[in-house]
Chains A and B, each alone.
Chain A
Amino acid sequence: MSTDVTGADVTGPTAADLVRADRVAGRLYTDPELFELEMTRIFERAWVWVAHTSELPGPGTFKSTHVGRQPVIVTRDRKGEIRTLLNRCRHRGASVCEKPQGRANGFTCPYHAWSYGLDGALRGVPYPDGYEGVLEKRDLSLRRLRTESYGGMVFATLDPDAEPLETFLGDARLWIDRFMKQGGGYPVKVLGRHRFTFRGNWKIQLENTTDGYHFPIVHRSWMASVDAETADMMSFMTDPTAVTHDLGHGHSVMQMVPAHSDLDADDGSEPLQARFDGLVEELSATLDPAAVRKVVRAMHGTGFNLNLFPNVSLSAAFFRVLRPVAVDETVIEHVAIGPDGPPELDAVNRARLRIHEHFQGPFGFGTPDDAEGWDRVQRGAAAAPDMPILINRGSAREKADADGHPTAHVTDETGMRAAYGRWKEMMGDD
């Protein structure tokens, strides 16, 4: 691989010319035409994360979200099946639901009262006599997207020919399984979400979840505010066992705290953090010591970030979801999670909410600093759009691991190279 990354050699007539193994064109953040192509070639063809099953606890529950820029409703129908429906009445195009989440028997368009079931089927139209001979209700369901789930993660795709979800996830599945172990023996549920915007391209955020290199610099103020034990757990910058794997399909996993990659692997030698002493005491009133240890050891989530191309990360103790709005505007959700167990675990979840608030959210000790960095990337990328963005850190020390995954140090840009490889593949079908 050339080490000359100063030249303007990520130019060319097609989108695929703009990505090389070690650099990408700055234009990837700023070109509105490329953004339009991304919406159709990536966000309307890939499996896009839309929900966690805990957000749809029973028949009739729903949430509103987006696949790319298209508004959708994710519902659990009467039979318990999860559906993703385009939020657009088949009559004149009005949205049929403007609530972020809730429970409903179906959806009625407020404009002419066409009504749809939870599975999207058109149930009724008022004053039907004008439609004699010109309307077949069964042809006019809300458009359904293919919807599949794995490990509680629900994905939808607009592409009827997309590969099965499990194939798309591939080797990322093992890491989803491991991520959900932070329930400490209980399933994982959504506890709440922070939503914030940043004025920059979606790929800047996609990169960030697999960017170990920025952590001690951008998050210095957060590091100063946490106790020594937590800061210690984050000492991955100089830990040679902290690595990033390219998992294929554009996915990658960054293991910051390898000892917490598989929370079931516990020889009992690691002491629980002293800050949780009170919690341990409270839980010990009803739970046995092994169960207490399991939930308390998982308070900070898992020790890795799993980056799934194109729109969701499973990061330490939360889901990070990105939604592209425009070439220079992105909405991010940080979804807090915790164990879905008996009431005595409420204390665990309250503590997890406080940990989440401390770093995440528009007023957290970490997120505003991340957002400032991303804002700077967007502004700076306007300078010399022919100059490449570098993603070559650690490419000389990248090696295949025992499973054949390209692997380098946790601070290396292996995960970004994985994502851009997939981007090139999906954008390259001219």
Chain B
Amino acid sequence: MTEAPERVPAPVPTTDPAVVRAIELVWREAELLDRAAYLRWESLYTDDATYVVPIDPDTEDFDGTLNMVYDDARMRQMRVVRMTEGYAIAAVDAARTVRTVSRFVPESVTGPAGGTEVVLRSAQVLVAFKRDRHDLWAADLRHRIRLAPDGPAGDRIVQKVVRLVNSESAVPAAGFLL
């Protein structure tokens, strides 16, 4: 079977200054999650942002399907409290994680300077270590990032979708975030 030729706009290079800022934000986020710096992680998201780990690998209808995580600002805030307050035994005794995010594909850079949004796909390989065991978590990520007019410090995530390669299979119950 041959695939119909895709109508692809000219690819956005990863050296595009807007894309570089977006990649840096994704890397910053990855490090905060590995360090379990959840309060600072939360501050990377806009108030209207969603953080999603779907089960159905193809769905965009996160509202109408069951997800592993589907957080708006309220749920994200409660999740951070749960991760940091010390009462959740799974969070207190969570695995240590190291993640690599790479294979960036800029999907689009839109909007005027000052309101630029970057949609960026990437691959994430996360190794979690707990009680003498390494678990491997592989996922495709898609970030929608809003760049701030006054510089990278204000760049924020509007949506993050984490598609685990084994989302429909049984995964360990986690005490950390993807």
**Contact size range, A:** 35 or more
- Rounded to whole Å, the gap between the CB of B77 and the closest CB of chain A is 9
**Of B67, B75, B171, which one neighbours A196 at CB under 8 angstroms?**
B171
A357 touches B82 (CB 8 A): no
Interface string of B45-74 (1 = CB under 8 A from A): 000000001010000000111111110000
Q: Which residues of B contact A372 (CB under 8 A)?
A: 89-90, 93, 173, 175
Within 8 A of A (CB), among B82-119: 82, 85, 87-91, 93
Q: Which residues of A contact B64 (CB under 8 A)?
A: 346, 350, 353
Q: Which residues of A contact B12 (CB under 8 A)?
A: none
The distance in angstroms between the C-alpha atoms of A16 and B177, with both chains bound, is 44
Q: Which residues of B contact A221 (CB under 8 A)?
A: 81-82, 85, 87-88, 91
Stretch binding the partner chain, chosen from A104-112, A295-303, A363-371? A363-371
Q: Is the interface of B mostly helix, strand, loop or mixed?
A: loop
**Of A197, A357, A363, A375, which one neighbours B170 at CB under 8 angstroms?**
A197
Interface string of B146-176 (1 = CB under 8 A from A): 0000000000000000000000111111110
Q: Which residues of B contact A194 (CB under 8 A)?
A: 55, 66, 68
Answer whether A353 and B175 are a contact pair too, CB < 8 Å, given A225-B82, A372-B90. no
The distance in angstroms between the C-alpha atoms of A195 and B173, with both chains bound, is 9
Q: Which residues of A contact B93 (CB under 8 A)?
A: 372
| Cross-chain pairs A/B with CB under 8 angstroms, 18 sampled | A191-B66, A192-B66, A194-B55, A195-B168, A196-B171, A196-B172, A218-B89, A220-B88, A221-B91, A224-B87, A331-B170, A353-B64, A361-B68, A362-B172, A363-B174, A368-B90, A368-B91, A373-B89
- Rounded to whole Å, the gap between the CB of B79 and the closest CB of chain A is 7
Interface string of A215-236 (1 = CB under 8 A from B): 0001011101100000000000
- Rounded to whole Å, the gap between the CB of A250 and the closest CB of chain B is 25
Answer whether A369 and B170 are a contact pair too, CB < 8 Å, given A194-B68, A224-B85, A353-B65. no
Q: Which residues of B contact A369 (CB under 8 A)?
A: 88-90
Of B55, B173, B178, chain A has the most CB atoms within 10 Å of the CB of: B173
B66 touches A362 (CB 8 A): no
Q: Which residues of A contact B78 (CB under 8 A)?
A: 225, 365
- Rounded to whole Å, the gap between the CB of B165 and the closest CB of chain A is 14
- Rounded to whole Å, the gap between the CB of B132 and the closest CB of chain A is 11
- Closest residue of chain A to B162 (Cβ to Cβ) is A363
- Closest residue of chain B to A374 (Cβ to Cβ) is B173
The distance in angstroms between the C-alpha atoms of A225 and B75, with both chains bound, is 9
A197 touches B68 (CB 8 A): no
B173 touches A367 (CB 8 A): yes
Of B65, B75, B82, chain A has the most CB atoms within 10 Å of the CB of: B82
Supplied contacts A192-B66, A198-B173, A372-B90, 18 more A-B pairs, CB within 8 Å: A194-B68, A195-B169, A196-B170, A198-B172, A221-B85, A225-B82, A332-B170, A353-B65, A357-B69, A361-B69, A362-B172, A362-B173, A363-B53, A363-B174, A367-B173, A368-B175, A369-B90, A375-B131
User: A133 interface residue, CB < 8 Å from B?
Assistant: no
List residues of B whose CB falls within 8 A of some A CB.
Answer: 53, 55, 63-70, 75, 78-79, 81-82, 85, 87-91, 93, 131, 168-175, 177-178
User: A268 interface residue, CB < 8 Å from B?
Assistant: no
- Rounded to whole Å, the gap between the CB of B50 and the closest CB of chain A is 12
B89 touches A356 (CB 8 A): no
A220 touches B87 (CB 8 A): yes
B87 touches A354 (CB 8 A): no
User: A358 interface residue, CB < 8 Å from B?
Assistant: yes
- Closest residue of chain A to B171 (Cβ to Cβ) is A362
B67 touches A368 (CB 8 A): no
- Closest residue of chain A to B53 (Cβ to Cβ) is A363
User: A126 interface residue, CB < 8 Å from B?
Assistant: no
A371 touches B66 (CB 8 A): no
Q: Which residues of B contact A370 (CB under 8 A)?
A: 173
The distance in angstroms between the C-alpha atoms of A375 and B174, with both chains bound, is 12
- Rounded to whole Å, the gap between the CB of A362 and the closest CB of chain B is 5
Q: Which residues of A contact B53 (CB under 8 A)?
A: 363
Answer whether A368 and B88 are a contact pair too, CB < 8 Å, given A194-B55, A197-B172. yes
The distance in angstroms between the C-alpha atoms of A320 and B175, with both chains bound, is 21
- Closest residue of chain B to A192 (Cβ to Cβ) is B66
Q: Which residues of B contact A203 (CB under 8 A)?
A: none
User: A130 interface residue, CB < 8 Å from B?
Assistant: no
User: A42 interface residue, CB < 8 Å from B?
Assistant: no
